[in-house]
Amino acid sequence: MPSSKKIIYHCDCEQYCKGKLKVLRQKAYFAHAMYRKRNVRNNQSNASWSSGGPQSGTTEGTMDSAGGPQSGLAHYSSGESPSSSGLPVRDNTLEGGHAPLPGDDSLSCHVDDLGDTQPAFLDMLHNSDPALHLPIPPESLPGSLNDLDFLQDPIPLSDLRTSMDFIKALQDTALSDPSLGMSPEAVGCLCNPLRDQPGDALDPDTRLAIDLYLGNSSEAAYETNRRAILRHFPDTQIPTYYKIKWFVTDLTGVESVVHHMCTQSCIAYTGPFLDLEACPVCSEPCYDQFQLQASGRKERVPCQEYHTIPIGPQIQVLYRDRESSTHGQYLCRERERVLSEIKEHGVLGEYSDVLHGLDMIKAFQDELITGDDIVLLFSINGAQLYAQKSLACWIYIWVLLNLEPSRCYKK
């Protein structure tokens, strides 16, 4: 019977493995590569083999001086032999006898861990599938922004390159960037928050109009209720939907950010898609083609838009109101209670909130989160809206942990 072929990946990076030697899956092994130090355990090549190759029946062919597997290695089990260059290679069949497919793990050592044998290994890579060509990471601090610039060019998959473009766009964004979609007035309010009470000095008619605006989900519903009230109370001064909308925006500093989107909901025209005139997924045009042609390409009317209400101005309004500001002191009070109970008893008597998690408690103890901080929880998940469709919708929410759970969730 043919021997079973298996590769065992070890890593002891400080970032994820905390310096302890662990067995990883192939994907995690390569993801940790930039955080591993070269030749951690000794000064010899990390891909060294004994002159006779791996012994039959052994599970790993490379051992350090202490008798354990070397740091950051892909170890090859029995049934494999080293190449003439001193590198472990596998034959051209996998378990079950079939040939390797593109992107298979036939060449699985990472160039960062091969020391003096790197040139021979690079030759092997260049004779293999281009998707396996792995660059040598630059000498930079783990997790530095230079890593993104270094990784962007070698990425062979277009989806991954697009993801990298979005990451860089987020890193480089600024409030003054017009592509962000925030008006100068909204940016000004965000940087210099309003401090007066939003509900002070409002006459009864304006208060009624605001209640109608907040209580009706559409412009048509607002106008229908407005006309009904004016028929019964002709002297009531209720502004139109457009006027009350901008009044609330000026009053609170909260306004929606508008971006163009694909009519099929494939993409939003932001980041690397900002200047596109057609969807890269379904090829639907971004702009109304009739208006575009009739105006000589001067009038660019989007076929569809979507609105986002930024979280920052909403939090500012929360702390402008006396009652809601009081509710927002929950995290401060709970933090003090948690730290006091742990100091007295060593543990909490009850774990009933996100603030009672070990990571949050450690952040409290290290003063990474103080009583004056605002803490947001970002929660995102995909949902398949139709049983017979493969497309999914991604839904996200912000949870303000400064408010007690009963004000954030409904049973």
109 pLDDT more than 60 = no
Give domain status of residue 165, yes or no.
no
Residue 125 and residue 216 share a domain = no
* Distance, CA of 12 to CA of 21 (rounded, Å): 4
Does residue 378 lie in a domain region? yes
- Residue 169 and residue 148 in contact, taking contact as beta carbons nearer than 8 Å: no
List b or e across 169-190, with b for residues whose CB sees 16 or more CB atoms inside 10 angstroms. beeeeeeeeeeebbeeebeebb
End residue of a domain, out of 214, 234, 252 = 252
pLDDT tens-digit profile of 150-163? 555 566 788 888 88
Give the total number of structural domains in the chain.
3
Domain annotation covers residue 315: no
More confident residue, 392 or 343: 343
Judge if 25 and 113 occupy the same domain: yes
- Please name the residue ranges forming H helices in 346-411: 358-365
Give residue-wise pLDDT tens across range 268-310: 999 999 999 999 999 999 999 999 999 998 999 999 999 999 9
Residues 32 and 112 in one domain: yes
Report if residue 373 sits inside a domain. yes
Query: What's the pTM value of the predicted model, to 2 decimals?
Result: 0.59
User: Is residue 184 one of the residues assigned to a domain?
Assistant: no
Structure tokens belonging to residue 146:
């230079």
For residue 4, give the DSSP letter: P
In this prediction, residue 328 carries a pLDDT of 93
240 vs 253: CA distance, rounded Å: 20
* Closest to 193 in 3D by CA, of 323, 320, 327, 374: 320
Residue 278 lies in a domain: no
**pLDDT tens readout for residues 32-67:** 887 776 443 333 333 333 334 444 433 333 333 333
Mean pLDDT of 22-29: 80
Range of the domain at 30: 7-137
CA dihedral sign, ordered 322, 323, 328, 330: positive
Q: Say which residues have a Cβ less than 8 Å from residue 189's Cβ, sequence separation at least 6.
A: 253, 313, 316
